Structure 1
Amino acid sequence: MRARALIGLLLLAACFALPDHPAAQPNPLAGYALYVDPGAQSAAAAREPGQEPLRAIAVEPTARWFDSAIPADRLSAAVDDYVSAAGPALTVLVAYAIPHRDCGTGPGTGAADAGAYRHWIDRFATGIGHRHTVVVLEPDALAHTSCLTPEQAAERTRLLAYAVDRLTVDPRVAVYVDGGNSHWLPADELARRLVAVHAWRARGFSLNVANFYRTETERAYGDAVVARLGFGHYIVDTSRNGTGPPPEGPGSWCNPWERGLGLPPSIVTGSTPADADLWIKRPGESDGSCAPGQPSAGTWWPAYAYDLVKRRELPG
């Protein structure tokens, strides 16, 4: 009961302090064409002779991921180049550099420490500049704290709050803090964590990033989270949810076969808390080398791309 009372007090204070917070504004994606990146790996693959089926991926707008593998001194230029190339189209950017990312396993697992992360976020924001864009903030970071010590978990909360505060200085940047998926945290707990990272300054939260749960399942969960928050909107990653989730099991999140492309990105209109269905994970790029013969994370994998295309969900 104390936790719920605290959430209520914090939300009330936020609403009085920030009457024009982004969650109260019109859908920031409405009226814009989403950017289709001609430099994406899927686009290069689809241009090869005999690879026309891959156009099912290449013609759709996808998010661009920026992670800690990009040095901070080159990050602003990289972000600026990408947003500039889009022209009037709306870009969706993913910030993915939180320390202890993925529990510190594998290569390139986030910024070295808190100071390095703050600097990285500062350079990321500088690259965006004063331009309208969408930012998905740190997939899995808010939900995935089970491997962290209490001190590391508290630091993560502070760093995510810093990132939200820094990125929302310009109201043209629509920030969605990643919230995991419907099978991760109870709606009450996700609402509590979102408040702790200053989500009232953001547009809302993202769901199902790089996962496979059906859109209707994620929307029901997103609606429940918004009801507990009393504000906010959300976006759902539909890039690979065309056949639903794989059977539960260790590593089932990593390159499961017999999945399919979900419905193409679209903007949600009306009074719903959902703002859009987007392709945040880039279909056809590996989740990681989780089994022998699988490419490293982010590597284009033709066989997996074809499997997704073969089983794609078609509009009804």
Structure 2
Amino acid sequence: MPYSVVPLPVGYRSRPATTAEAPAVHRLVGDCERELLGRVVTGFDRVAADLSLSDQQPESDSVLLRDHEGETAGWGWVRGRRAQVHVHPGHRGHGLGRSLLGWAETRAGQLGADRLSQSISDSDRPATALLRSSGYFPLVTEWLLTIALPAGTQAPEPSAGITVRPFRPGDEQAAYQVTEDAFDEWQQRRRTYAEWARLTVERPTFAPAASPLAFAGGQLVGVVLSSDEPGADDGHIERVAVRRDHRNRGIARMLLREAFSTFQYRGKRTCTLWTHTDTGALSLYEGIGMTVQRSSTVYTKVLAEPGHTA
């Protein structure tokens, strides 16, 4: 199938997005977030990681839209059953969002996906309306939680036999196994190690010192992975996972407190993390003093059949 987004309004063109476009895409995403949230919340390294990930045909897993003057007008990516689409605020109202959505559904169908999901901020009413009018329905709610540092009360001591230390080189495969095993309980698709690593431990902002690990009998049983954006006031928790047979022992709370303490030492004022309905962890985070800052909804659509084209 020829690479294109069809149809596009007059004056716009599309081509595959590459890692060379990371600065332009990050500016676009930042402009979208400033309009919607009042500030940029997505780091450059996250955009670069999204652009570097590929599936079966890298040339058509991400797309970039430009206008006749070469200005970046929109972009989108597809990985398995997930997609993300952004249209620059200055280029809205021309149907670019619907074109990108159609491309994402086509590409997902070509990759054999039976459904497609996208996360939308609950304050983004136009995007929500577009998805609903295109046959998408809400699947889960996501929450961004935050806590002021220093973080209030201390977590209870973990059960005997649990030891804790920061992440260090060589822990990658074990951390991948624990986090993906835990996330298999709710995620639609298990990530490959290469994809997981690109989004976590290989990012320039990965913070090993703020990523404590819990061990029992020499085996890794609990993981917190964090990122630290230079110059930002907040640290961010990327992953929290405890092996099923070691849950309800205070391990997650202890690891989070360890991460909070490290971020406080680094001069951070707050720490944030995302969770959603299926994890069942909202009460855990609220119980250690975190509060909901904002929310998003994951919308999903069942595609007609593998190979479906929009």
Query: Which TM-score applies when normalising by structure 1?
Result: 0.30
**Quick one: higher RCO (CA 8 Å, sep 6+), 1 or 2?**
2
Q: Which has the higher strand share?
A: 2
Structure showing greater Rg: 2
Query: Which TM-score applies when normalising by structure 2?
Result: 0.31
